[in-house]
């Protein structure tokens, strides 16, 4: 926000120079760059000075500190150059009467410094070493969460919690709960009444089998009622900005359950993904594209949606962002009812979404196949899940939840076959980006079936 020249004036030259000089001379000098080391300084004074090993460790911290500072300055300056280039190009285009649209590219140089917070037992698998880091000088987020209870966080706990927290904040001010397993949603729901326990019941009901051993995140306070529901379900992590005291007391009876206080995530900014020999960097997808506003959607087939149907379509569209591609998501009444994720063709994603919707996740396979002596009461499937959800799913025929639901697809339907799977299952409305060379074929199929279809013009791939 400050003018360029004012920012440049704030760049420190002498301070980093003195710190680096002291660090280079660490055999004779102890350089301290963090208030977190003040207790160590006091102890060293009492004991007659720093050991060489300690001075060497402090020197390494000092160089890391100045390196992070230099990286921040150089990244900022490179970003200013890109912004200037776009402004110059826009001025030239305007003068020539050409298209002046455009935005700054990521900076030509990106320097990121990470500080290790803790070693982890292992990475994704036991043979992989791992640690958790935070961005130098940053606080908050999942990496900086305050743990109230439970076992130490694992690598997979961190990645799943990050995905769950991000999904929980995808719906603005609506009270939201997301249940995530292996970085994919088992269920997402909002509560129009602002009742987080209701949102949790609806999110869990999407797929109780997959929710077993998952991560739960919300954007509001975890109440005692929600805690009582969670207690009977095997869960790895519960993340929230706040917990009621009674909720902490209830959940703390589960000795391994991790309870995390997590601030609202920073939604803007860049994401960095390593590739062999380098990295690819992109702006974070925060559902702020023009096509994420339902008022911009194009009605391509079927009758226009009323307010309730449009609200469900908007919920489904915002929820599908959190699903790994190819992604197709079914929703009803502000809750997911079937999620088809991570398939290499869209037809299979449609089939998976419908299958999950119509079995309530109560298949007799995997975790759901455990007998009563092996699973915790209320954990998954059957009558125990019915007690948690407050329905009769345990002793009744599996409901056809796809019938009357809405669907969202993260990218266009390349053929009408995937859409036909949804139509045959009774889906009443679909929202998708459009843009396929066979769009008309897909639109015609929706029109023939009397299915409402909206095109957003925006895609939400996630890999």
Contacts 24+ apart (CB under 8 A), 385-389: 385/208, 387/232, 388/201, 388/204, 388/208, 388/229, 388/232, 388/233, 389/201, 389/204, 389/205, 389/208
Residue 182 annotated to the active site: yes
Residue 202 annotated to the active site: no
Q: At what angle do helices 224-231 and 196-206 cross, to 10 degrees?
A: 30
- Stretch (H or E) spanning 147: strand 146-149
Kindly name the residue from 151, 182, 200, 460 that is annotated as catalytic. Answer: 182
- Dihedral angle over CA of 408, 411, 412, 415, nearest 10: -90
3-state secondary structure 371-396: CCCCCCCCCCCHHHHHHHHCCCCCCC
Query: Is 2:11 a contact under the CB 8 Å cutoff?
Result: no
Secondary structure of residue 57 in the 3-state scheme: helix
Distance of alpha carbon 67 from alpha carbon 113, whole angstroms? 8
| Nearest to 284, CA basis, from 454, 163, 185 | 163
Contacts 24+ apart (CB under 8 A), 102-108: 104/79, 106/82, 106/270, 106/281, 106/282, 106/283, 107/75, 107/78, 107/79, 107/81, 107/82, 108/78, 108/81, 108/82
Whether residue 140 is preceded by a cis peptide bond, meaning omega within 30 degrees of 0, is no
- Stretch (H or E) spanning 315: helix 307-320
- Stretch (H or E) spanning 172: none
DSSP-derived letter for residue 5 is: H
Distance of alpha carbon 215 from alpha carbon 161, whole angstroms? 6
Please report, for residues 2, 118, 175, 271, the alpha-carbon distance to residue 169 in angstroms, rounded to integers and kept in the order given: 29, 26, 9, 17
Greatest C-alpha distance within the chain:
87
| Nearest to 147, CA basis, from 132, 163, 137 | 132
> Would you tell me how many other CB atoms lie within 10 Å of the CB of residue 158?
19
Q: Strands (DSSP E) along 379-461, which ranges?
A: 406-409, 429-432, 452-455
Q: Buried b / exposed e across 271-286, counting CB within 10 Å, b at 16+? A: eeeeeeeeeeeeeebb
Distance of alpha carbon 67 from alpha carbon 89, whole angstroms? 33
Residues catalogued as catalytic: 24, 182
């Amino acid at each position: 926000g400050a003018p360029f020249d004012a920012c440049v004036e704030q760049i420190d030259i002498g301070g980093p120079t003195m710190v680096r000089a002291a660090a280079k001379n660490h055999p004779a000098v102890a350089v301290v760059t963090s208030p977190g080391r003040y207790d160590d300084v006091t102890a060293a004074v009492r004991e007659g000075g720093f050991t060489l090993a300690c001075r060497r460790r402090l020197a390494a911290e000092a160089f890391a500190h100045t390196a992070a500072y230099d990286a921040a300055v150089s990244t900022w300056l490179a970003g200013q150059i890109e912004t200037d280039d776009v402004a110059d190009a826009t001025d030239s285009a305007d003068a020539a009467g050409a298209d002046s649209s455009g935005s700054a590219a990521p900076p030509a140089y990106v320097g990121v410094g990470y500080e290790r917070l803790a070693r982890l037992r292992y990475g994704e698998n036991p043979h992989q070493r791992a640690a958790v880091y935070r961005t130098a000088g940053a606080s908050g987020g999942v990496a900086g969460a305050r743990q109230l209870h439970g076992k130490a966080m694992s690598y997979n706990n961190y990645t799943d919690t990050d995905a769950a927290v991000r999904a929980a904040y995808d719906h603005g001010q609506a009270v939201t709960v997301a249940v995530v397993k292996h970085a994919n949603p088992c269920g997402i729901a909002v509560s129009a009444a602002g009742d987080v326990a209701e949102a949790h019941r609806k999110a869990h009901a999407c797929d109780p089998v997959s929710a077993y051993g998952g991560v739960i995140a919300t954007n509001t306070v975890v109440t005692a009622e929600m805690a009582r529901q969670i207690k009977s379900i095997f869960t790895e992590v519960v993340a929230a900005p706040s917990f009621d005291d009674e909720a902490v007391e209830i959940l703390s009876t589960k000795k391994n359950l991790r309870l995390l206080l997590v601030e609202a995530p920073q939604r803007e900014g860049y994401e960095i993904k390593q590739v062999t020999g380098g990295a690819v960097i992109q702006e974070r997808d925060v559902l702020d594209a023009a096509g994420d506003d339902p008022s911009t959607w194009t009605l391509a087939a079927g009758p226009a949606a009323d307010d309730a149907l449009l609200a469900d379509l908007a919920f489904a569209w915002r929820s599908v962002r959190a699903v790994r591609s190819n992604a197709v998501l079914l929703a009803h009444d502000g809750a997911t009812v079937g999620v088809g994720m991570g398939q290499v063709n869209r037809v299979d994603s449609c089939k998976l979404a419908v299958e999950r919707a119509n079995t309530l996740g109560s298949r007799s396979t995997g975790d759901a196949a455990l007998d009563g002596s092996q699973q915790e009461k209320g954990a998954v499937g059957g009558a125990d899940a019915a007690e948690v959800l407050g329905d009769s799913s345990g002793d009744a025929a599996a409901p056809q939840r796809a019938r009357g639901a809405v669907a969202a697809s993260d990218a266009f339907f390349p053929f009408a076959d995937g859409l036909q799977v949804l139509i045959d299952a009774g889906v009443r409305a679909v929202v998708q980006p459009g843009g396929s060379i066979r769009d008309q074929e897909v639109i015609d199929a929706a029109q023939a079936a009397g299915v409402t279809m909206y095109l957003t013009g925006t895609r939400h791939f996630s890999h």
